[in-house]
Copies of this chain bind each other. A is one copy, B any other.
Amino acid sequence: MENRDLTYAVLGTGALGGYYGGMLARGGRRVCFQVRTGFEEVKKQGLMVESCDGDFALPNAEIYAATGDMPKADVVLVCLKTTANHLLPEMLKPILKEDSLVILVQNGLLFEEELSADLPGVPIAGASAFICSFKVAPGHIKHCDFGHISFALLNKSEAACALLEKVKDDFIECGVEASVEADLPALRWRKLVWNIPYNGMTVVMETSTDKLMQDPESRKLIKDLMLETQQGAAACGVTIESEFIEKMLVYTDSMVPYAPSMKLDYDAKRPMEIKGIYSNPLKAALQKGVELKKIRMLEQQLYFKQSEYLK
């Protein structure tokens, strides 16, 4: 395995799949992109990444409409919204071979566990992306800031560890900051410290991150939600230091006014990723006997908001 190049499949060629897959393809890796919306157009024109680190085009990117048409892959980067995750087992089957590694480049807790229950024995990892990017149009990605990606395995086998190291090296060689972390729950919960307060609150309050930070009462509530996330993590055996919470607050203060992905979904009347960011963490904490009341209230408010446009 170490002596040959990996074939990557990217499911979902949006803000994440378009950027990371694009970087790998630009660096010479073989990347097969699955494009749902605007397939014909993207197949004709290829990919365009407008990046703060330099724009690039991939006119000859390998574009597919469905996984049934794609070659088998060594590594699958799942960059779909988690609201489509119930389709994953069927989507993955045509492109998996023995020891293919599936990496969920997604937000939220327990999706790796859920997928593993559906595909027993398949090596699965999670990835957490610290990036500001979005899809301008089909096949056209704009990358504004950051880009670091962290990986962690759900179940560590020697082969999977070696393969994930090679993936990380590929990312780095192709110009993306990347790292492998030891603990998947820690990777997921740390990201939730930011995602839980800001995703939900920008939707429910119909506002942006900067406004939430300016008013002392909403700022306090943001911090309360982070502290409940810390409690939930602790219940699941993950330690989040208080300094990390302070760092997230200061980091958000320094950000340009920003609409998190859930706010973009809400504004576009798309399903929101409530399950992974709220319901699953609440479930995981409750299984350990810990009730996270403010996070639960935010979840309830989000389901109400979603019910207003999604019948």
Interface residues of A (CB under 8 A from B): 204-207, 211-212, 215, 217-218, 220-221, 224, 293-294, 296-301, 303-305, 307-308
Task: Establish whether residues B220 and A301, one from each chain, have CB atoms under 8 Å apart when the complex forms.
Answer: no
Task: Establish whether residues B294 and A205, one from each chain, have CB atoms under 8 Å apart when the complex forms.
Answer: no
Task: Establish whether residues A217 and B303, one from each chain, have CB atoms under 8 Å apart when the complex forms.
Answer: yes
**In the complex, residue of chain B having the shortest beta-carbon distance to the beta carbon of A298:** B297
Beyond contacts A205-B301, A207-B304, A293-B297: 8 other A-B pairs, Cβ-Cβ < 8 A, are: A206-B206, A212-B304, A215-B307, A217-B303, A218-B301, A220-B300, A221-B300, A294-B296
Task: Establish whether residues A297 and B217, one from each chain, have CB atoms under 8 Å apart when the complex forms.
Answer: no
Q: Which residues of B contact A301 (CB under 8 A)?
A: 204-205, 218, 221
Q: Which residues of B contact A211 (CB under 8 A)?
A: 308
Q: Which residues of B contact A307 (CB under 8 A)?
A: 215, 217-218
Q: How far is the CA of A204 from the CA of B302 in the complex (A)?
A: 12
Q: Ordered nearest first, which 8 A-B pairs have the shortest CB separation?
A: A217-B303, A218-B304, A221-B300, A293-B293, A215-B307, A217-B300, A294-B297, A215-B304
